[in-house]
Amino acid sequence: MALSEIIALITSTTTNTQLYDILNRVYLIVISVSALLIALLWIPIALGFFSSDENRKTDAKMKLKNAVYGTVIYVLAVSGVLYAVFQYVALGT
């Protein structure tokens, strides 16, 4: 099936509002799953801070920096700020 036929099928079976609702729901699901994954990745770092072993605490402090950077980049990407910064730097708009 050609792309134009698929687009015609989508537009004939759904209205723009329904398509927007479907895409919004998919977006929310992706955001929820990725937020859950980020939360799961923070668990070992938190457990390292509560350990009695000093080596483990030091390792957790080193991992904390990378986890904070990754979380901030994720939030910027999801919120659209990263896209806006890229548009400004790369294209000047």
What would the pLDDT profile of 77-93 be if each residue is shown by its tens digit? 888 887 888 888 888 77
Calculate the alpha carbon distances from 1 to 13, 16, 49, 61, 84 in Å. Answer: 16, 22, 55, 53, 35
How much helix, strand and coil, in percent to the nearest 5, is found in the chain? 90, 0, 10
User: What range defines the domain where residue 46 resides?
Assistant: 27-91
Contacting residues for 41 by C-beta, under 8 A, at least 6 apart: 67
Residue 13 located in a structural domain: no
Residue 71 located in a structural domain: yes
Give pTM, 2 decimals.
0.61
Position 12 scores a pLDDT of 62
In angstroms, the CA 74 to CA 66 distance is 12
Residue 63 located in a structural domain: yes
Residue 19 located in a structural domain: no
Position 15 scores a pLDDT of 67
Our count of domains for the chain comes to 1
pLDDT digits (tens, 9 = 90+) for 11-58: 665 566 777 888 888 888 988 898 898 999 899 999 998 888 889 888
